[in-house]
């Protein structure tokens, strides 16, 4: 079986979130299991600049595609996976991100850009007129930017199966009727049974309706999105298609996130050598100007600083716990109000609070290695990866009981300590007080060094590698299409 993996982001070439990590790690893991995976990605200017000129270029023959849409063949860096780029000067050759301009505003033509991308992908699946010499048996689509692909496959009756993965249901690719008409989409699709969505239309809904399987990135999130408010208006649709909805937990790339080999940290360590973790803590404190202290618990966060991630609760919790002997290190960007509140806390408390606005890969690794605790108080979290990284680094997560967080973290209590199953601290209620109580509970456990070290060792034994996830997807592919 030849699989075409369609995505709008791909680490290390273009990334705004976890989709890029999945789009890199999952195909690699499946390739390691001897499966034939080809990735297709929009040819953004920054991606082409990184990859350089192509040795192979193909021309599409489709009246619905712009004349400047072409296909380039490359190799995914540091792999044997073929990477195809759908290129267009008018659509993708521009400064800014994949979805927004340099000022952070959505590109005005996003519907056109990703409709053209979808049409190009479908051309690759056409058994008679594909410009590419390899035929594909299954297409794996990711998020709303690829949602029209399963719809066109069904429309044209191609003998190609489709899997559609929802990484975050909140982003649905919703546009108005005028846009629908401009894209020359079939009139019969303008129906509540197909693409119409509250008098607009949704790319994501197209993927749900027409794909053979719908997956999302954790078992709990697959259950949560059957009900409002996490269904984001799609609870009826998802319940209707529940028979083909599956939750498969994302994995972690332990070659990148491994405290024994991590090139971003000074002192490598393992569960049997936790003294070096303390050295990383002191190094991080020194680097960020925090008070040097082994005994003060250091709480880290690497996150988008937005309401969904519970960062408003975190601001209040940091304010309320300034009298406690606890330190905080925050890395991320997002809501300007939350950014400013955190920066003000750091200015007022330079020895206990460090805030870096933006993203820094090295600092992200140093926070994982140097922190004692890692906080992820999300209102909802489809999967989350940092809590998985934290487990491997012996940095105990503090998480809310939602999505992939509850699927990967076992709460600390007396029974789970005796059974040696606990790996972090879980709270349920969506309030600042609940988060604050979880932090205080974690701080209290930090002083119980023997129990703390035992929990760290249990956490570091957890295995959420991509091999497990890849095998689950391969089994799903087998159910959808021809035998592998």
Give tens-digit pLDDT for 221-249. 999 999 999 999 999 999 999 999 999 99
Per-residue pLDDT for 118 more than 50? yes
Query: Angle between the 110-125 and 203-210 helix axes, to the nearest 10 degrees?
Result: 30
61/46 Cα distance (integer angstroms): 26
- The answer to whether 169 touches 383, Cβ cutoff 8 Å, is no
Question: Strand, helix or coil at 96?
Answer: coil
pLDDT of residue 146: 98
Q: What is the pLDDT of residues 173-195, one digit of tens each?
A: 999 999 999 999 999 999 999 99
Query: Angle between the 466-480 and 18-32 helix axes, to the nearest 10 degrees?
Result: 80
Q: What is the pLDDT of residues 20-34, one digit of tens each?
A: 989 999 999 999 998
Band of residue 198 on the pLDDT scale cut at 50, 70, 90: very high
Band of residue 484 on the pLDDT scale cut at 50, 70, 90: very low
299/293 Cα distance (integer angstroms): 13
Residues facing 356 on adjacent strands: 331
Q: Which helix (H) or strand (E) holds 5?
A: strand 2-6
Cα 363–chain centre separation: 19
Q: What is the pLDDT of residues 291-310, one digit of tens each?
A: 999 999 999 999 999 999 99
Average pLDDT over residues 344-372: 96
Average pLDDT over residues 393-420: 95
Average pLDDT over residues 64-73: 97
Summary count for the chain: helices (H), strands (E)? 19, 18
Q: If we measure between CA atoms, which residue out of 54, 18, 25, 55 comes closest to residue 39?
A: 25
Band of residue 344 on the pLDDT scale cut at 50, 70, 90: very high
Band of residue 55 on the pLDDT scale cut at 50, 70, 90: confident
173/133 Cα distance (integer angstroms): 31
pLDDT of residue 104: 83
pLDDT of residue 483: 45
Band of residue 481 on the pLDDT scale cut at 50, 70, 90: low
Average pLDDT over residues 61-71: 95
Cα torsion through 47, 52, 54, 58, rounded to 10: 30
Q: What is the pLDDT of residues 311-338, one digit of tens each?
A: 999 999 999 999 899 999 999 999 999 9
Mean pLDDT (the chain, rounded)? 95
Average pLDDT over residues 383-407: 97
Alpha helices in 334-426 (DSSP H): 336-348, 361-370, 386-392, 403-408, 414-419
Q: If we measure between CA atoms, which residue out of 224, 226, 244 comes closest to residue 234?
A: 226
Q: What is the pLDDT of residues 123-138, one digit of tens each?
A: 999 999 999 999 999 9
197/242 Cα distance (integer angstroms): 18
């Amino acid at each position: 079986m030849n699989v075409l993996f369609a995505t709008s982001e791909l680490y290390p070439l273009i990334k705004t979130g976890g989709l890029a990590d999945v789009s890199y790690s999952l195909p690699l893991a499946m390739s390691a299991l001897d499966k034939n995976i080809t990735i297709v990605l929009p040819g953004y200017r920054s991606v082409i600049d990184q990859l350089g000129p192509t040795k192979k270029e193909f021309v599409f023959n489709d009246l619905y595609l712009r004349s400047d849409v072409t296909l380039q063949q490359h190799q995914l860096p540091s792999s044997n996976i073929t990477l195809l780029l759908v290129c267009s000067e008018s659509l993708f050759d521009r400064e800014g991100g994949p979805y927004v301009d340099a000022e952070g505003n959505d590109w005005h033509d996003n519907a056109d850009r990703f409709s053209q991308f979808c049409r190009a992908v479908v051309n690759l699946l056409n058994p008679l007129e594909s410009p590419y010499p390899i035929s594909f048996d299954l297409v794996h689509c990711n998020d709303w930017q690829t949602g029209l692909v399963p719809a066109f496959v069904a429309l044209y009756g191609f003998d190609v199966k489709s899997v559609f993965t929802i990484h975050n249901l909140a982003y649905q690719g919703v546009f108005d009727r005028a846009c629908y008409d401009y894209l020359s989409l079939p009139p019969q699709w303008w129906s509540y049974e197909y693409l119409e969505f509250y008098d607009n239309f949704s790319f994501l809904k197209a993927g749900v309706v027409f794909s053979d399987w719908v997956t999302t990135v954790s078992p709990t999130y697959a259950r949560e999105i059957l009900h409002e408010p996490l269904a984001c208006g799609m609870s009826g649709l998802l319940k209707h298609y529940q028979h083909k909805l599956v939750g498969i937990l994302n994995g972690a790339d332990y070659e990148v996130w491994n405290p024994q080999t991590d090139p971003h940290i000074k002192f490598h360590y393992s569960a049997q050598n936790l003294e070096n973790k303390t050295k990383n803590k002191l190094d991080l404190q020194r680097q960020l100007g925090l008070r040097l202290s082994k005994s003060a618990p250091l709480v880290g966060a690497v996150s988008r600083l937005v309401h969904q991630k519970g960062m408003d609760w975190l601001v209040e919790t940091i304010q309320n716990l300034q009298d406690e002997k606890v330190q905080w290190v925050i890395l991320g960007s997002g809501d300007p109000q939350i950014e400013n509140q955190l920066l003000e806390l750091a200015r007022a408390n330079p020895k206990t609070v460090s805030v870096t606005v933006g993203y820094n890969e090295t600092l992200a690794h140093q926070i994982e290695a140097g922190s004692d605790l890692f906080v992820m108080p999300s209102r909802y979290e489809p999967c989350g990866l940092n809590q998985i990284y934290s487990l491997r680094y012996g940095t105990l997560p503090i998480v809310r009981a939602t999505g992939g967080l509850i699927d990967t973290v076992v709460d600390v209590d007396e029974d789970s300590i005796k059974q040696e199953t606990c790996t972090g601290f879980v709270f349920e209620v969506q309030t600042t007080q609940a988060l604050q109580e979880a932090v205080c509970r974690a701080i209290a456990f930090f002083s119980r060094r023997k129990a703390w070290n035992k929990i760290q060792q249990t956490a570091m034994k957890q295995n959420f590698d991509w091999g497990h996830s890849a095998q689950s997807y391969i089994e799903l592919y087998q159910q959808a299409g021809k035998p592998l």
